[in-house]
Amino acid sequence: MAFGRHARRSRAMRVAAGTALLVSLALSLGSGVLAAPAKTGLYIVQLAGAPIASYSGDIKGLKATKPAPGKKVDTRSAAAKAYRSHLRAERLDALRSADLVGRSTVYTYDVAFNGFAMRLTKAEADRMEKADGVVRVWKDRIYHADTFTTPTFLGLDGNDGVWSQQFGGAEHAGEGMIIGVLDTGFWPESPSFAPLPEPRPDAAAIAAKWHGTCDEGDDPDPANNVSCNNKVIGARWYDAGGLSSSVPDEFLSPRDRNLHGSHTASTAGGNQAHAVVHNFDVGTVSGMAPAARLAIYKIGWQQPDATASGSSVDIAAAIDDAVADGVDVINMSFSGSRTFVVDPVELGYLFAAAGGVFTAVSAGNTAGASQVAHNSPWLTTVAASTHDRTYTRSMTLGDETEFTGPGTGEAVPESPLVRSVDVGMVGADPEDVRLCLSDGDPDTAGVQPVLDPAKVAGKIVQCDRGVNARTDKSLAVKNAGGVGMILTNTAPNSLNADFHLVPTIHLSEVDRTAILAYIASAGDAATASLSAATQEQIRAPGMAAFSSSGPALAGGGDILKPDITAPGVDVVAAVSPVGDNGTLYDAASGTSMSSPHIAGIATLLRAAHPTWSPMAIKSALQTSASQVDNEGKPILNGAGNGAATPLDFGAGHVTPPDAFNPGLVYDSGLADWVQYGCGIGQIQLVFAPSVCTSFGSIDASNLNLATIAIGDLAGSQTVTRTVTNVSTDDAGIYDVSVQAPAGTQVEVTPSRLIVPPGQSKSFSVKITRTTAALNAYTFGSITWVEKKGKTSPHAHSVRSNIAVRPVALAAPGEIDVSGTSGTRAVTVTPGYTGQLNAIPHGLVADAKTTHSLTGTNTNFSTAAPAAGPAVAKITVTVPAGSRLARFATFHADYSGATDLDLFVYTAGTTTLRGSSAGATAEESVTLTAAGTYDIYVVLFAQPGGATGPFDVFHHAFVVPAAASNLTATPSPQSVTTAVPATVNVNWSGLTAGTRYLGQIQFTDGGGTTIGNTIVDVVP
């Protein structure tokens, strides 16, 4: 964004302006027509001379009025009165010089500014600028409160924004609504959570729906308990999982120790408040729904690595309470399963949605395909993208090489440049030194500093990203006397303009290589300098490098996740000063930050449309989302080197103004979600088979969502959708516009819909592969475009993104069977006409091992894996020719809330080959490459918070190419494109109570493998 600079006009410019005025006047007089009165405007006139607050007594006869250090200016003193009279005389002299004596002023300034304001014509302002004693004349300028986070970028504030247009102003945006925030608590003293002005017009509505409580806490220090008000109307805390003991100074109350909960709560529904971060004034911050009430549910607890963790038992209880308490919207910015939609947390949200509660959740911060968490369709899963304001600066090395990147703070002159690894304390852990861990938080690095002040003082320090908070690294540099920091990525990741404690620039892993090479070559002579940071408006949104992408593993990519994206990079909001070096506000990045944006915006939609269901709200957000940035170009991917896709952003980037009047919505409810769960074979895992018999099942692609996804398009597939008209206009007449995914044909039937208000219409979408590459996603959309007319004054455009992956064969990725023998009919759909072969491999029995562990480990280092009291290491060799290997732990082995994590590495290295780290003991990693692997089983949490000896069980399966106890018939068989075929899977001769694993390999007539189905025999 370009900010105008005031520049005093030259004498030539002033003369030209005056000449133009005289010519205009002469023309009007010559024509015999009286000139209209000249238009006046407000101007500020600055006069020479110090104001009272800074006058030091340099005028004879006038004593100083500048206050002594530590004192305040006294405008009632005799000296101040005398000096004020002097300033008044100078003001009159200036008016006299400009021939404006007798004209009244609007304001006079003499304490912190010397001058006055008055209404002037342009010509009078020109004369005033030339007058004796005048330093400068400014035309009055309108200053808008800068919202540093995202309301301006999202179209919420301003006269044309959502707050004004939908609610009459920010002070009413979200009235009558309650947002439940499941997180690490809140900091009650923050201005973001201060009481709302009374009386409240929504008091009766809130009283009618709110049934919650304010549990102030049970902390040994009563000062660490909380109180509620008419902003934060409820607070609860949950610790059955025993995670409060992870660090010694956690608060046994809803008070936020970590900072995460304050940030998410204030982003969703915090007050408008003025924010200062480490003495840096960032302006006004605001939640998306600033007039909404908040209910805080503390389910997350501080961990030794400064992250936060929550137990599934606590989260499930909080969901239950939140729904009972009467919240309208929930935000939970915590991780979730990538494979299951039927764990206790996801099911809790299923019934919350059925009860009318909209829930936004974070997609996850693990970059890469199929890393997206929270794949349940009843949730709105939010990816993270950038917003349009950042701070940038440059760094110049001693060899004059220049780098630019995000950064805040003042300039740093040329100073010695060192690597952190070269300035560590004797005896400090080299890894802690490399990462610049501070001694400011004993939970992070203990009480000993890792950087040596004797080696750091006066220097700029290069520190690597990772493990501890980015700002914790600059704290370490500050504590050691450093004057600046270069924060470097070690792998592709986001670049962030954090508010550091010393001037900092954040650079990429590519820049890191060049900087380290320079330091190595220059040695002790290495230097660098930093420019002052400047605020800029940038191209946005772009996907964050860390944001987890689809395709969703649950359902095999047949629903599109994440659902939508919102700002999640360098978002400024409230924090806990205990968790953030004493500040009340700071920037943070993650899908944790993007999710509460959607929660808050959904709250506004619920306030405007109280009868809409959670899925109608989700649909409105999705169909109005944008796929282009503020330059009209495609949203960039996380690497910044190409266009993002619906696997990155779902429907697109949220655009709130258009969501309030979407025209048509795609709705669904409990019966639909159960049918979906039965269709992907997961409801059966937790409910009696009669549930699926009663409800039936559907192909996941047919769930009535606002996006369309087919993870296994075998030739051709038809999906159905139903839209409901939520407009109050007459019947909407919509024609379809199709952007077919490349290499496919799309046929929509019917191509025109006439939908009366409140009514629904269905249509089908047939997608046929033509030339699209196999096993690669291709993307498109369908958009229902309303015909605008007298009966339909608002022409709506309702877009649905399409993501499809053509395959030669659509076959289930895995089937679960049971019993020592049996038969299971498996339906597969070919994408070709010809011969299909089904080749069995296995079954192989479970190689189960038992490991006695002690305590817990919530800080397993993926960069430096190691066995320990709470970490078991198992080494398994997968011979050449093996079909696959699976390493797993199973929830069924344990009673109580056990939480295990699983990490698999190439043996003897730190090369991570796979991981599974959900919130339960149900974890698995499946690999197809031969080799030797180190598997680490991490005991993250024991039942009830116990820490004593505890047996964990690791299961390993290595499936050979040979067949044993498993057959598949018929094979071969003739198949036809898009016509389902049946393969009967048979197993026999198994040992009761033992798990087995096998695989059916599918090949075409030429022997090419076109699909695989894992066969999991469950006791």
Amino acid at 422: D
Cα–Cα distance for residue pair 311/306, rounded to 1 Å: 17
Dihedral of CA atoms 293, 267, 182, 226 in degrees, nearest 10, equals -60
Pair of tokens at residue 257: 């120790």
Is 399 catalytic? The answer is no
- State which amino acid sits at residue 469: A
CA-derived radius of gyration, the chain: 33
Length of the chain: 1019
Contact 114, 50 (CB under 8 A): yes
Active-site annotation holds for 796:
no
* Contact (Cβ atoms closer than 8 angstroms) between residue 453 and residue 480: yes
The token pair that represents 793 in the structure block: 């004054």
Across the strands, what pairs with 957? 886
Backbone conformation region of residue 517, classed left if phi is above 0, alpha if psi is from -120 to 50, else beta: alpha
Where do we find the tokens 């409230």? 574
Catalytic residue chosen out of the listed positions 110, 126, 157, 183: 183
Annotated catalytic residue within 244, 337, 592, 594: 592
* Whole-number Å distance between alpha carbons of 174 and 184: 23
Q: Is 574 helix (H, G, I), strand (E, B) or coil?
A: strand
Of 854, 852, 858, nearest to 244 by C-alpha is 858
Conformation bin of residue 802: beta by default, left when phi > 0, alpha when psi is -120 to 50: beta
CA dist 692 and 1000 (Å) reads 26
Helix or strand or coil: residue 420? helix
Spell out the alpha helix ranges (H) of 37-77. none
CB atoms within 10 A of CB 563: 30
Check 157, 215, 246, 260 and give the catalytic one. Answer: 260
Please say if 592 is a catalytic residue: yes
The answer to whether 185 and 215 are in contact (CB under 8 A) is: no
How far CA 9 is from CA of 46, 48, 113, in Å, comes to 15, 18, 22
Q: Is residue 105 within 8 Å of residue 117, measured between CB atoms?
A: yes
Buried b (16+ CB within 10 A) or exposed e, 531-549: bebeeeebebbbbbbbbbb
Q: Which residue has the tokens 């016509």?
A: 979
Residue with tokens 């020479």, as numbered in its chain: 48
Q: Which residues have a Cβ under 8 Å from the Cβ of 278 and sit 6 or more positions away? A: 499, 500, 501, 581, 583, 586
Calculated CA dihedral for residues 651, 657, 662, 665, nearest 10 degrees: 50
Q: Are strands 293-298 and 232-237 parallel, antiparallel or unpaired?
A: parallel
Residues labelled catalytic: 183, 260, 592
